[in-house]
Structure 1
């Protein structure tokens, strides 16, 4: 299967049975058969605790990690087949990345305009590529007129929005944002979420946000829970759903699993309304 490409400036993302195993100090399975489709111009939150695999998944989507198995497409590019030089070229042109911690994305001694200009250089001059001026990008993230301010003069919420502007500088089809609200108060969080929604609405950019905050996922409209390296559940418009993976497996919510011991046998009953799971009677009934 091949990703459908792009619609407007938003890139489609397709993951097929992604597996990633860290082997530096014994084998650690970080991703265990992830199947995921993100439509062009969609906003999605990857939600889960530390160690769940969500940061590994984003690193694969960014082309920073090559998975142990599986395939991943961003637009019409299959990342798992590209050589390192092509992956590096893709970042900053098609894929924008905002690392956790605003200061990791910015040079504090430069102005906002200068930071954005530097981020645009890899894509500048590409045939058919139109880049917005820094002032327009700053306007998108709610920092209109702040181009001559230095990063070290900004409040925390402003710095995070400046980091978003840096990630957006080359008008990427996919913007990956790692924990953009984790160090902000409620007001700063709301400003960042408003900026992400404006970017998505006006640029058509596909936006993927890593977060441990379930409310952020609810506010973005679609949230995918990563649990034990798999897609555990999906939330859409405030309602949670279990997800059937391509290999036929399904992860039940933790509150459901808590009531049953590992190895519990279930019957699968097909009804007029769907499917019902029923635990086997301990006496064999």
Structure 2
């Protein structure tokens, strides 16, 4: 029961390589009984093939919604998203199912949600491979090779209940990697792990990226996890708020020309503050010349005296 299918298509193969991801002005609105909720409000994002990226932000910021759209699990309300050569809004339900079965691997938050507890780990991986194994010419690794890739060599006969939390999460990664996807989406893989378990999972992801070239996108609220993945994109209020690369933080200009100020800066300059913009070749300086409290009460016009404002 633990063996890989013997149909001639499931054999060891070269690394699959990563796919690129592009989001353009992505918007998603939920309708609830209390009204509409804007989960994403104009996300512009480019992810290179083979890149490792963290989506960082608090609960409710839009991270998981964005990943669900990238994985073809929901359609955006507006905007375009490309995974490799596929524009997801143009795919039929069958096309999206094929994408999820072969090109995109998704690991849900909570390792147990990805695994069947009553069969072995090898069987879990084999079951996840079945949709891709039906594609003519598709070649897949044996389950044991995928388990080895995430640091679970020799554990194929074990079941979920026999594993430590860190091992369970790595088994969930193996399930997401079963079909050899070019894009792996992982939702909060370290949220319930201790430091040792977290390191095991991050090491497994780095190995997958290095050996297979897989594009890896990780949702996390842990800034340290984001820093270790090389590039961290902060999602705040449904938009890309900032990026961290190689220990440096950057604000990001969106496709519509807007920019989110860092939280510590925006707290000092409330909504409605008038900013004067000075720019040279590669530098931009913002001067706060009026705040909402300085507006004239009668006509709503800012009382700008001409004195220098505060530079941001």
Q: TM-score range by the shorter chain?
A: over 0.9
Corresponding position of 1:20 = 28
Match of 1:54 among 53, 63, 75: 63
Corresponding position of 2:256 = 247
Corresponding position of 1:122 = 131
Structure 2 vs 1, CA of residues 55 and 74 (structure 1 numbering), >3 Å: closer, same or farther? same
The CA distance in 2 between the partners of 1:254 and 1:243, in whole Å, is 14
Which string of whole-angstrom CA distances, capped at 9 and with x for unpartnered residues, describes residues 117-160 of structure 1? 00000001423322111111011100011111111111100000
Corresponding position of 1:4 = none
Q: 1:163, CA displacement in angstroms?
A: 0.1
The CA distance in 2 between the partners of 1:106 and 1:34, in whole Å, is 32
* Alignment RMSD (CA, Å): 1.3
Q: Secondary structure at the match of 1:80?
A: helix
Q: 1:273, CA displacement in angstroms?
A: 5.5
The CA distance in 2 between the partners of 1:8 and 1:142, in whole Å, is 19
Match of 1:199 among 196, 199, 208: 208
Long gaps (5+) in structure 2: 1-14, 295-303, 307-312
Q: Does the aligned pair in 1 maintain the 2:275–2:288 contact within 8 Å?
A: yes
Q: 1:238, CA displacement in angstroms?
A: 1.3
Tell me, yes or no, if structure 1 residue 41 matches structure 2 residue 50.
yes
The CA distance in 2 between the partners of 1:159 and 1:56, in whole Å, is 24
The CA distance in 1 between the partners of 2:259 and 2:221, in whole Å, is 22
Which range is displaced more, 20-29 or 101-110? 20-29
Corresponding position of 1:153 = 162
Q: Secondary structure at the match of 1:64?
A: coil
Tell me, yes or no, if structure 1 residue 177 matches structure 2 residue 186.
yes
Paired residues, number: 279
The CA distance in 2 between the partners of 1:68 and 1:272, in whole Å, is 37
Which range is displaced more, 272-281 or 169-178? 272-281
Q: Secondary structure at the match of 2:131?
A: coil
Q: 1:82, CA displacement in angstroms?
A: 1.1
Q: Secondary structure at the match of 1:40?
A: coil
Tell me, yes or no, if structure 1 residue 220 matches structure 2 residue 241.
no
Match of 2:104 among 73, 95, 98: 95
Q: Secondary structure at the match of 1:123?
A: helix
Q: 1:185, CA displacement in angstroms?
A: 0.1
The CA distance in 1 between the partners of 2:73 and 2:305, in whole Å, is 51
Aligned 1:72-87 pairs, distance under 5 A? 72-87=81-96
Q: Does the aligned pair in 1 maintain the 2:16–2:181 contact within 8 Å?
A: no
Q: Does the aligned pair in 1 maintain the 2:16–2:180 contact within 8 Å?
A: no
Q: Secondary structure at the match of 1:49?
A: coil
The CA distance in 1 between the partners of 2:190 and 2:245, in whole Å, is 20
Tell me, yes or no, if structure 1 residue 284 matches structure 2 residue 305.
yes
Q: Give the TM-score taking structure 1 as reference length.
A: 0.95
Q: Give the TM-score taking structure 2 as reference length.
A: 0.87
Structure 2 vs 1, CA of residues 273 and 172 (structure 1 numbering), >3 Å: closer, same or farther? closer
The CA distance in 1 between the partners of 2:305 and 2:237, in whole Å, is 31
Q: 1:80, CA displacement in angstroms?
A: 1.1
Q: Secondary structure at the match of 2:32?
A: coil
The CA distance in 2 between the partners of 1:152 and 1:110, in whole Å, is 10
The 4+ residue runs of structure 1 with deviation greater than 4 A are none
